[in-house]
């Protein structure tokens, strides 16, 4: 399909050149030259010599307002096909043509920047975009491509600068991206024990997208490092209210907070409420662990009741562990064989997946490594998940 598209574009492009040559008031020798080039171009295409056809097309077809779109479309087709060098050739040729308006030059520069980015020449794409952004009436397109470049380079500070320069925070889909960039910087500062700068970045992240749950998560980390466990617990509970799907992600930290606070009754109450409103296997097992302080039998009875309503492999593994505590030797052997199968099943299945592209992983990631979208990875629910 891509080859057919390129064939059609080249035929149309050279045909336009031929027609324009016909219409022009030039000498007959010049018209004959156009006819000759048109025939040669068709021969190249029919023999699948696209490189030769492309060179002929660029040499023979004068760039003007009537055929600029054809040049751009042909370059874009080559880029989508993966032949970036040909796309660069076409778009660089456009920049060398006289008589183009500022807007047309900006359009060619943008396409060339896309070519460079696709080829992995990020520094050249960045330089071209920064130099030519002033000529474009649509700063959003420039800003988006620069954000993509800085995101690939993980240069979060430059990405935020571009966001401010082009006012990209006014677009909701970019506001959440920019907020995560600030969170990336905050996380780096937390790792470097620079709490003051981390807090500044979190304030910026909140200004960009106040509903970003990662802000609360990082604030809770800072509070836990300072041993302010009551405040950290409140931040984690706000995450659960804001996005209940993230409850399995925060449970370990929240359990640690309640353990340091020394209020197991409050922790148990919160788990009961969580199971009533937003049930998950992780919350069920956390509640079962609290019930084990009464007896293993009470925990087993609770897990059995919950599994009848919401079966999960992780829950079955926990229940098998409990039954093995008081099972006979013969029963233990059977339970161990069964558990070997269920544990293998649990370990081979991912715990998280991206809602955008379906990428699955065993760890929580704020940015999907496949589609590169932010805040789309959530815990899996169902028999093999939560």
C-alpha distances in Å from residue 192, one per residue of 185, 186, 197, 219, 231: 11, 10, 10, 15, 22
Of 8, 92, 70, 74, nearest to 42 (Cα)?
Answer: 8
| pLDDT at residue number 321 | 84
Sign of the alpha-carbon dihedral angle for 367, 368, 373, 378: negative
| pLDDT at residue number 34 | 47
Q: Which residues pair with 360 in a beta bridge?
A: 353
Query: pTM to 2 decimals?
Result: 0.78
- The vertex-104 CA angle with 102 and 106, nearest 5°, equals 70
Spatial separation of the C-alpha atoms in residues 40 and 284, rounded to whole Å = 74
Question: Is-contact 346 313, C-beta < 8 A?
Answer: yes
| pLDDT at residue number 77 | 82
Tokens, residue 384:
């093999």
Question: Is-contact 222 198, C-beta < 8 A?
Answer: yes
pLDDT tens, the chain, 386 aa long? 555 445 454 445 445 444 444 444 444 444 444 456 555 655 655 566 666 666 666 555 566 666 777 778 888 888 888 888 888 888 888 888 887 788 888 888 888 888 999 988 999 998 888 887 666 667 788 888 999 999 999 999 999 999 998 888 888 889 999 999 999 999 999 999 999 999 999 999 999 999 999 999 999 999 999 999 999 999 999 999 999 999 999 999 999 999 999 999 999 999 999 999 999 999 999 999 999 999 999 999 999 999 999 998 888 889 888 888 776 776 777 777 777 777 777 777 788 999 999 999 888 999 999 999 999 999 988 777 77
Q: Is 308 exposed, middle or buried (0-12, 13-18, 19+ CB in 10 A)?
A: exposed
Kindly list the domain boundaries of the chain, sorted by start residue. Answer: 279-347, 349-386
Contact residues for 1 (Cβ-Cβ < 8 A; gap 6+): none
- The DSSP bridge pattern shows strands 352-354 and 360-361 to be antiparallel
* Per-residue DSSP letter, 292: T
């Amino acid at each position: 399909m891509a080859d057919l598209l390129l064939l059609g574009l080249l035929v149309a492009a050279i045909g336009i050149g031929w027609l324009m040559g016909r219409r022009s008031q030039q000498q007959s020798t010049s018209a004959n030259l156009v006819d000759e080039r048109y025939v040669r171009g068709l021969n190249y295409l029919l023999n699948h010599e696209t490189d030769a056809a492309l060179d002929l097309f660029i040499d023979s077809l004068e760039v003007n307002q009537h055929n600029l779109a054809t040049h751009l479309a042909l370059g874009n087709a080559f880029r989508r096909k993966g032949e970036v060098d040909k796309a660069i050739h076409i778009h660089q040729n456009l920049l060398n043509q006289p008589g183009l308006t500022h807007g047309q030059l900006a359009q060619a520069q943008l396409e060339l920047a896309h070519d460079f980015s696709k080829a992995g020449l990020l520094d050249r794409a960045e330089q071209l975009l920064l130099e030519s952004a002033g000529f474009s009436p649509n700063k959003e397109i420039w800003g988006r491509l620069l954000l993509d470049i800085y995101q690939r380079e993980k240069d979060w500070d430059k990405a935020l600068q571009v966001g401010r320069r082009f006012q990209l925070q006014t677009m909701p889909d970019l506001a959440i991206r920019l907020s995560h960039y600030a969170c990336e910087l905050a996380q780096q500062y937390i790792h470097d024990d620079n709490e003051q700068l981390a807090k500044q970045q979190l304030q910026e992240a909140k200004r960009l997208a106040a509903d970003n749950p990662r802000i609360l998560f990082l604030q809770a980390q800072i509070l836990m490092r300072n041993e302010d466990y009551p405040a950290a617990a409140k931040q984690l509970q706000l995450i659960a209210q804001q996005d209940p799907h993230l409850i399995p992600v925060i449970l370990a930290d929240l359990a640690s907070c309640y353990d340091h606070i020394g209020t197991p009754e409050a922790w148990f109450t919160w788990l009961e409420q969580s199971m009533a409103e937003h049930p998950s296997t992780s919350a069920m097992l956390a509640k079962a662990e609290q019930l084990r302080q009464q007896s293993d039998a009470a925990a087993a009875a609770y897990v059995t009741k919950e599994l009848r309503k919401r079966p999960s492999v992780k829950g079955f593994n926990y229940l098998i562990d409990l039954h093995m505590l008081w099972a006979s030797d013969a029963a233990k052997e059977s339970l161990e064989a069964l558990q070997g199968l269920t544990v293998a099943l649990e370990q081979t299945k991912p715990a998280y997946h991206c809602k955008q592209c379906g990428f699955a992983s065993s760890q929580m990631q704020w940015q999907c490594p496949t589609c590169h979208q932010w805040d789309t990875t959530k815990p899996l629910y169902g028999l093999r998940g939560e």
